[in-house]
Every structure is written in structure tokens, then in C-alpha cells.
Amino acid sequence: MLSASAAAIVYFVNSLPNAIWGMTTLGTVPSRLVEIDGKFTHLSGDHSIRIMIQSLLVLFCLAVCLPAYIGAVKDAYRTGRHRDGGRTPPGFRQTLSYIHQRKFAQTLLILPGAGILFLTILPIVFMILLAFTNYSSPDHVPPGNLVDWTGLDAFAQLFRLKSWSATFIGVLGWTVLWAFVATATTFAAGLAVALVLSQKEIRVKGIWRTIFIIPYAIPQIISLLAMKMMFNGQFGPINQYLSFFGLAKVPWLTDPFWSKLTVIFVNIWVGMPLSFLLVSGVLSSIPQELYEAAKVEGAGRWQQGRIVTLPAVAFAIAPILIMQLAGNFNNFNVIYLLTNGGPANPEYQFAGHTDLLITWLYKLTLNNNIYNIASAIGILLFIVIAGFSILNYRHTRSFKDEEMMQ
Amino acid sequence: MSQGRSKRLRVTASYLFLLAAALWSLYPAVWVVLSSFKPGKSLFSDTLVPKALTAAHYAELFRSGSLMFPTWYMNTLKVAVCSMLLSTLLVTLTAYALSRFRFPLRKAALSLMLVLGMFPGFMSMVAVYILLNEIGLLNTHAALIIVYSFGAVVFNLFVAKGFFDSLPKAIEEAARIDGAGNMRIFASIMLPLSKPMLVFVALTTFTGAWIDFIFASLVLRTKDKWTVAVGLYDMVHSYQNAYFTLFAAGAVLIAIPITLLFVYLQRHFVDGLTSGANKG
């Protein structure tokens, strides 16, 4: 116990100044050519990004160990007081049973908490920090070059620099349009199917339901890659059918206008089942008496729908629609697997006509290594999603109702 | 009389509509399955139903030395099952502690989890990659399992917590009066009650691990470590429509377990999703 805390203290005393130095400077020694014995050799300098991660690790470890250390000191002090008072201090066994009775929840949370701290929080902090550096290819990528803090330059570049801001506005515009159209179309399709199926004259509802769920059950990577083949302009079956009827081939995925139409169309196929399931759930919860009452008042089928069904669906579905809107805003799979953002737009920076902000972010990080701007976009996306969530906050069951169980 | 006819008209129209919607839903799947039995390699086909059927593409998937499909399948199974087990454990522990106990900083922890879930996942991938590199876990399945499992905690916490919130406090109090400790209440009362939620969490992580191709392709550097999703994506990416029928056969093999699980357990998924959709 003592040696462990001693080791921890030695470790932090050694590494903390290093970590603080690393976080403030991100390395100072650039890689360079040095003349040794008349020959030029390449000496590697500081690797800014590794220094940053390692420093963050030290700081996070400190944040974990410091409270534990303080707790241990307090505990030792208490034990000492017990001894001084002539009582026997609680032994190991008592401590365990105390933890079991009083600190059960905290004990359960140790493992998940540690994992989330290092695998989720640390990476997010790291990426947020990147937005304030110049970490981007081609000029600021380690190990060849150093990375420096540059404040809000990445945001300034994104909003002010003509080439970047034009791409940002263009992609943002399409993302918003896409999110609304995709949500509206899938919802309309799901609502239509659910309404038709809910009529009491329709038989074998279970079988129909299973059929409509199938597009949702097939993994998206499979169905979307298959769709990509189906809409292939040269050999795809869709264009074959068209030419069978004597119609011209359509450049489904290669023309800016058609590709946008195709992704929305395919998204109806992908997203309809979920809307269908959610709407069906709402429909089945509408009390039958409401319809009876409307009928007694002389309402026809359409009027019943307008007076009873529509308000009920609209009321219950609002939070789900908002979440779907947020989901479509970041709908990576449909765009990435179907068009990969293409067709390319020569006026854009590393983006195509159908790229959403999220796919653009992906391309900037993993294909083009422009991390600082990608990270700035990520922060903006976070703000948008957070906005949607605040909008939904009133409907939060998990948060609101929890005191009911007391 | 006329009312009866209009009703018949409505019902017929409804059936026609449902039939059209069913065709629309099933067509892509049927097309892939039929293509996987089609002789030849290319995407092009002059008839919808192939003139002859062959299982040669399935055989080739398992025999071909360059594809390593059986290895990928086993890798995927391993990663998916391990992530499923680990994530279910972690999600249950976290949600249970945050739902049934009151302690300092509990609200703060909940809000933090809510905020973490709003960040785009790709943002942290680069950092996770560098971290894995630092601790030498790059190109291992353990890395995938760990990252998927802890990711599932953020993703599923509110579904699971909502479920635990709904279990009545009275059961717990009764057990406490009978002398049961915290551990016993958790293991013999709460866990058995939470089976529907456990199924939901287990299956979402299983499918997530089964079909992820983005993070897996970043972490797994050599072909013998790949999962099926990475392999399949690579197939489409590097050969396009030259090996289309082979792709179709692979797609069928990958999709079948997931699709069956989904259809079989659709109720659980819908319940879990709706409670998740309300979490904000």
C-alpha cells in the first residue's frame, strides 16, 4: 500500500512537469538534418501529437489518483484516531462489508467509469483540442513537422477563407435539406403503410408486418452496397429495365441532381420500416372508444382520421421525429456506402455533391489528414445535435420520471 | 348496398397497396439472393430470374485462398460474441448503479453521459487509434472488443437505465427486510427481471460488431485479422462489379444471421428503440 502510493508520487513528480510542458508547447524540437562527420543524417524531432496524447494520459491519471490518494490519507488519519482513542480500528473485513453496504453503486461503476474515461472522454477532449491547433496536412503533420496551438484559426479558416467557407455553406445547405426531406419522406411512407395495415379488414397482419421489417433487419452495409450495384449506371438492373421499356439510361449515382434524388429514394427504403413500427405502436395505443364516439357524432372515415388519428400520432410522434431528424443529420451509412459523397464537386474542398457534414468530416480526417478543420466541424455538429436534444428534453422519460419510483 | 361495394373497393385497394409495398421491401433482398446463385461473375443479367442456378460462388468463398472468408467469419463471430458479453455486463453494471442508488455526482455523471453521446463517433477515432498504437493493441481483436463494449455503454445506458427505473422499489425493499444484501438483490432479483433489456443490449452490440466496417478497417491492418464487413467492403471497393456474384454470395452469408435474429426478436427491438428514442 505504502510502496504503491510512493511509486505513484514518484511517477507524478517525474511526469507532471513533462506533461505540462507537453501540453503548452506540443514539442519544441523539429526534425532536421544534422551534419555528423561530414555526412547529413536525419534526426527525428518531437512528435507533437504523441506528446499531446501522452500528456493528456498523465493528466487524466492524476485526476483519478489524486482523489484516491486524498481518500487514503483521510482513512489513515481516521484509523489513527481510532487507535489513539483506545478502540480497535475497523479491519479489512469490516471495510469490505462497509463498501458492500454503503458504496455498492460506486464499486459497480469503477470498471465502466475507467473505460469511459480513457476510451471516450480522453479521445473527445483530444479531438476538441485539435480544433485549436494547426494539425493538418501537408505542412503540419508529425513526425516531419511540429504542431502548434493556433487558437481559433481553424474556425476562421472554415468561415472566412473563400474556398473552405464555400464548401462549408454548400455542404451544410445540403445536409439540412437532406435531413428534412429524408425524415419527412420516411415518415410519410411509414405512416401510409401503418394506416393501411391497421384497418380491421386486413388479414394476417403478422406476416405483412414481418415483410415490412425485412429492410430494417438486413444490415445496412449489405443492403446499401447492393443498392449501389442496382443503381449502377452501366450494368445495373434498374437501367436495364428502363432500356427494356425503351427509356434512356439514367446516371443515378454519377449526376449531381440524380444522385441526390437516388439517396433520398433509397433512404425511404432503408428508413420506412422504423417509421412504420413506431407509428404502428402509436396507432395501437389509441383507445377504440374515441373512434366510436366520433362515429356516433356522424364522422366518416376521413373525418375520424382527421379528428382522432392525426392528433394522436402527431402528439406521440413529435419526439421521435426530432430524434430521426438528428439521426438523418448524421446519416453516415446511406451517403457513404451509396455514393461516398460523390459525384465529386471541383469547387469544393475534398467534398462531393452528396456529402453531408459527417461524411465530409470523415474524409477530412481519414483520407486527407486535415484534422484541425475536421475537428472544428465536429464541434459544430455536436452543437447542432445538442440543440435537437434540448428541444427534446421535455420528453425525456428517463430523466423526468425517475423520481416516481421512490 | 353501395356502402358494401365501397368497402370492398377500399379493402381491395388496401391489399394492392400492401402488395406493392411488400414487393418494394423485398425486391432488393430477393435480387441479391438470386444473383448469388447466378452463373458467371458480372453484374449484368438479361433476366430477373437467372436461367440456371449454381452454388459455385458459395463454394468459391470457402475455397479461395485470397479471400480468407472462413477466417473472417470466425474472427467476426469471436469479436461479436465477446463484445456482446462484455458490453452487456458493463451496461448492466452502469445502468443499475445509476438507476437504483443515490450518491454524490450521480446527476453530473448522467448529464456527462448524455453529452458524450452527442459527439460524432468519428471525432474520437483518430485519438483511439493513437492510444491503441501506444499500448500495442493495434491489429488485435481485443482492441475491437474493448472499444465496442465501452462504446455500447454510452449508446445503451439510457435504454437500460429507463428499464431499471421502471422496476418497482417495493421488490427491493421486501428483499432487504428478508435480509438480502446489495449483491444478492442485484444478482438474484434484478438480473432475472431485466431479461428483455439484456436481450436488447446484447443484440444491438452483437449486430454492431458484426457489421462495423469503419473502425474495424482502421484497426485491423492485416487481411487474416479482418472481419467479414471489412472484407466485403474491400471486395466491392477493389473489384467493383467484376466479382459481383461472389459479393452477393458473401452478402447473403453475412446478412442471414443478423436478419434472422432481428425478425425473431423484433418485439424486443421495437420496445428498446422506443424507450431509447425518448431518452433525448
CA distance A225 to A221: 6
Residue B79's pLDDT is 95
Of B42, B97, B125, the CB nearest to A108: B97
Residue A400's pLDDT is 46
CA distance A1 to chain B (A): 26
CA distance A355 to chain B (A): 15
Whether B134 sits inside 8 A of A53 (CB atoms) is yes
CA distance A43 to A47: 12
Interface test with B, best of A220, A221, A377, A395 (most B CBs within 10 A): A221
Of B93, B131, B166, the CB nearest to A53: B131
pLDDT mean over A262-273: 92
Tens of pLDDT, residue by residue over A53-66, are: 888 888 888 888 88
Cβ contacts of residue A356 below 8 Å, gap of 6+?
A171, A174, A175, A178, A329, A330, A331, A332, A335, A341
- The residues with which A42 forms a beta bridge, in sequence order, are A33
Whether B134 sits inside 8 A of A50 (CB atoms) is yes
Of B17, B119, B181, the CB nearest to A382: B119
Whether A395 sits inside 8 A of B280 (CB atoms) is yes
CA distance A273 to A189: 9
Residues of chain A positioned with their CB less than 8 A from the CB of B182: 100-101, 104
Cell numbers placing A157: 479558416
Whether A232 contacts A253, CB under 8 Å: yes
Residue A294's pLDDT is 84
Residues of chain A positioned with their CB less than 8 A from the CB of B125: 123, 365-366
Interface test with A, best of B88, B123, B138, B203 (most A CBs within 10 A): B123
How high is the mean pLDDT of chain A? 83
Closest residue in chain A to residue B265, using alpha carbons only: A217
Tens of pLDDT, residue by residue over B35-86, are: 888 887 777 766 667 777 888 888 888 887 777 888 999 999 999 999 999 9
Domain boundaries, chain B: 66-168+194-277
CB pairs A-B closer than 8 Å: 274
**Element (DSSP H or E) covering residue A337:** helix A332-338
Closest residue in chain A to residue B215, using alpha carbons only: A366
Of A100, A122, A398, the CB nearest to B162: A398
Residue A262's pLDDT is 92
Residue A405's pLDDT is 36
For this complex, say whether ipTM is above 0.90. Answer: no
Could you identify the residue written with the cell 428517463? Answer: A398
Interface test with B, best of A52, A211, A222 (most B CBs within 10 A): A222
**C-alpha triplet A254, A258, A259: angle, nearest 5°:** 55
* C-beta neighbour count of A144 within 10 angstroms: 14
Taking only the tens of pLDDT, chain B with its 280 residues reads 466 788 888 889 999 999 999 998 999 899 888 888 888 777 776 666 777 788 888 888 888 777 788 899 999 999 999 999 999 999 999 999 998 888 888 888 888 888 888 887 777 888 888 888 888 888 999 999 999 999 888 888 888 888 888 888 888 888 888 888 888 888 888 888 888 888 888 888 898 888 888 889 889 988 889 998 898 888 887 766 667 888 888 889 888 888 888 888 776 666 666 554 444 3
Of A105, A214, A225, the CB nearest to B103: A105
* C-beta neighbour count of B103 within 10 angstroms: 14
> Does residue A352 sit in helix, strand or coil?
strand
Of B94, B165, B169, the CB nearest to A398: B165
What is the Cα B93 distance to its own chain's centre? Answer: 21
Of A124, A219, A273, the CB nearest to B123: A124
Residue A323's pLDDT is 80
Residues of chain B positioned with their CB less than 8 A from the CB of A366: 122, 125-126, 218
Residue A404's pLDDT is 39
SS (H, E, C) B190-243: HHHHCHHHHHHHHHHHHHHHHHCCHHHHHHCCCHHHCCHHHHHHHHHHHHHHHH
pLDDT mean over A346-359: 88
Residues in chain A: 406
- The residues with which A41 forms a beta bridge, in sequence order, are A34
- Residue A266 Cα distances to A217, A228, A258, A339, angstroms: 15, 10, 12, 11
Of B48, B181, B233, the CB nearest to A100: B181
Interface test with A, best of B5, B14, B116, B119 (most A CBs within 10 A): B119
Whether B83 contacts B212, CB under 8 Å: no
Whether A397 sits inside 8 A of B279 (CB atoms) is yes
Q: Is the pLDDT of residue A211 over 80?
A: yes
CA distance A220 to chain B (A): 8
Whether B161 sits inside 8 A of A382 (CB atoms) is no
pLDDT mean over A382-405: 64
CA distance A227 to chain B (A): 7
Cell numbers placing B89: 455486463
Cell numbers placing A13: 513528480
For A37-123, strand residue ranges (E) read 39-43
Tens of pLDDT, residue by residue over A66-111, are: 888 888 888 888 888 888 877 776 777 777 777 777 788 888 888 8
Cell numbers placing A139: 505542412
Residue B2's pLDDT is 62
Tens of pLDDT, residue by residue over A105-143, are: 888 888 888 889 988 899 999 989 989 988 887 777 777
CA distance B195 to B201: 10
More confident residue, A250 or B51: A250
Closest residue in chain B to residue A218, using alpha carbons only: B259
pLDDT mean over A26-36: 72
Residue A87's pLDDT is 73
Closest residue in chain B to residue A377, using alpha carbons only: B123
Interface test with B, best of A272, A398, A406 (most B CBs within 10 A): A398
Cβ contacts of residue A78 below 8 Å, gap of 6+?
A89
Whether A214 sits inside 8 A of B29 (CB atoms) is yes
Residue B43's pLDDT is 74
| Neighbouring C-alpha atoms within 13 Å toward the C-beta of B199 | 16
Burial of B156 (0-12, 13-18, 19+ CB in 10 A): buried
Q: Which fold has domain B66-168+194-277?
A: MetI-like fold (1.10.3720)
Residue B271's pLDDT is 65
Residues of chain B positioned with their CB less than 8 A from the CB of A210: 263, 266
Residues of chain B positioned with their CB less than 8 A from the CB of A240: 44-46
CA distance A320 to chain B (A): 6
- Domains, chain A, with CATH or none: 2-151 (no CATH), 158-405 (1.10.3720.10)
Residue B90's pLDDT is 93
